[in-house]
């Protein structure tokens, strides 16, 4: 499969075989992740491998997702300006700017660019992956468990393993809804394309082999707004970590 086909075949994988991911393979994935671009080359991210079963169980409890307690290698991805701040202080520099909105977002973006590289690298080796936003259901607890210092913040988890079965491809929004020219376009300018998509997505949800249900894109949005874990405390957790304070 060439690279374009590989990317176009991506689907999240939550069910893994018991085959472990070797330490060498994890290192290879991290190395490839690091080749992604980073903002002004600050490389402002870290990965934490979770190999301690008791710690993994505590993280799984935060997510409330039972599959996280099972197979696959668990990584927590960290937006990390602490390393840069420490190196700055060693040079007598004041690192407060690294906690501002600009450098905080750059660290989240660095972490995410690297993570997508890791996902693609994993899939090219026949592994499957899933991004776990649910590790933020109790961000303060996760920060405590991983002993995360100021100017670090968990972004999401990644579970990587050998796939047990395969999901269907999930249809994405039409290009008309996500690609504009020379300025933003309101959804009212692409209503027909959206209506087609609602039908396509409805068919996908009805026909899929796991968790088939009546739903369309409106239901996805409704689910987000009626979430049982709205994470309203996330801004204050970020501020406690030294990010996004007015003074930065």
Query: CB-wise, 55 or 61, nearer to a copy of itself?
Result: 55
Name the minimum Å distance from CB 67 to a copy of itself: 16
SS3 state of residue 13: coil
SS3 state of residue 115: helix
Query: CB-wise, 51 or 64, nearer to a copy of itself?
Result: 51
Query: CB-wise, 16 or 47, nearer to a copy of itself?
Result: 47
Name the minimum Å distance from CB 190 to a copy of itself: 10
Name the minimum Å distance from CB 221 to a copy of itself: 5
Residues across the chain:
248
Query: Residue 8 is encoded by which pair of tokens?
Result: 């176009």
Query: Residue 159 is encoded by which pair of tokens?
Result: 């579970």
Name the minimum Å distance from CB 127 to a copy of itself: 12
| Cα separation, 174 vs 193, whole angstroms | 6
Nearest residue to 103 (alpha-carbon basis) of 81, 127, 70, 134:
81
Name the minimum Å distance from CB 51 to a copy of itself: 6
| Cα separation, 125 vs 121, whole angstroms | 7
Query: CB-wise, 71 or 145, nearer to a copy of itself?
Result: 145
Query: CB-wise, 17 or 218, nearer to a copy of itself?
Result: 218
Query: Residue 138 is encoded by which pair of tokens?
Result: 């109790």
Cα dihedral angle (200, 201, 206, 211), rounded to 10 degrees? Answer: 150
Name the minimum Å distance from CB 247 to a copy of itself: 10
Name the minimum Å distance from CB 200 to a copy of itself: 13
SS3 state of residue 171: coil
Query: CB-wise, 94 or 214, nearer to a copy of itself?
Result: 94
- The b/e string for 1-25 (b: 16+ C-beta within 10 A; e otherwise) is eeeeeeeeeeeebbbbeeeebeeeb
Query: CB-wise, 63 or 117, nearer to a copy of itself?
Result: 117
Assess contact for 197 and 171: CB atoms under 8 A: yes
- 156 φ, ψ (degrees, to nearest 5): -165, 175
| Cα separation, 146 vs 59, whole angstroms | 10
């Amino acid at each position: 499969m060439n690279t374009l086909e590989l990317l176009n075949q991506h689907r999240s994988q939550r069910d893994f075989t018991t085959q472990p991911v070797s330490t060498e393979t994890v290192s290879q994935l991290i190395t490839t992740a690091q080749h992604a671009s980073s903002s002004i080359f600050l490389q402002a991210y870290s990965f934490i491998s979770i190999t301690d079963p008791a710690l993994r169980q505590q993280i799984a409890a935060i997510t409330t997702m039972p599959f996280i307690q099972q197979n696959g290698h668990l990584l927590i991805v960290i937006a990390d300006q602490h390393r840069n701040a420490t190196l700055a202080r060693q040079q007598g520099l004041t690192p407060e700017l690294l906690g501002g909105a600009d450098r905080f977002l750059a660290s989240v973006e660095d972490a995410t660019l690297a993570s997508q590289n890791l996902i693609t690298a994993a899939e090219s080796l026949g592994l499957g992956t899933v991004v776990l936003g649910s590790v933020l259901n109790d961000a303060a607890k996760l920060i405590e468990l991983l002993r995360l210092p100021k100017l670090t913040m968990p972004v999401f988890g990644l579970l990587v393993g050998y796939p047990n079965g395969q999901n269907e491809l999930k249809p994405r929004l039409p290009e008309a809804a996500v690609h504009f020219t020379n300025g933003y376009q309101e959804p009212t300018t692409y209503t027909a394309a959206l209506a087609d998509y609602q039908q396509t997505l409805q068919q996908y949800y009805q026909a899929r082999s796991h968790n088939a249900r009546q739903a369309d894109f409106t239901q996805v949005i409704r689910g987000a707004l009626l979430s049982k874990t709205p994470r309203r405390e996330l801004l204050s957790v970020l501020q406690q970590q030294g990010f996004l304070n007015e003074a930065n």
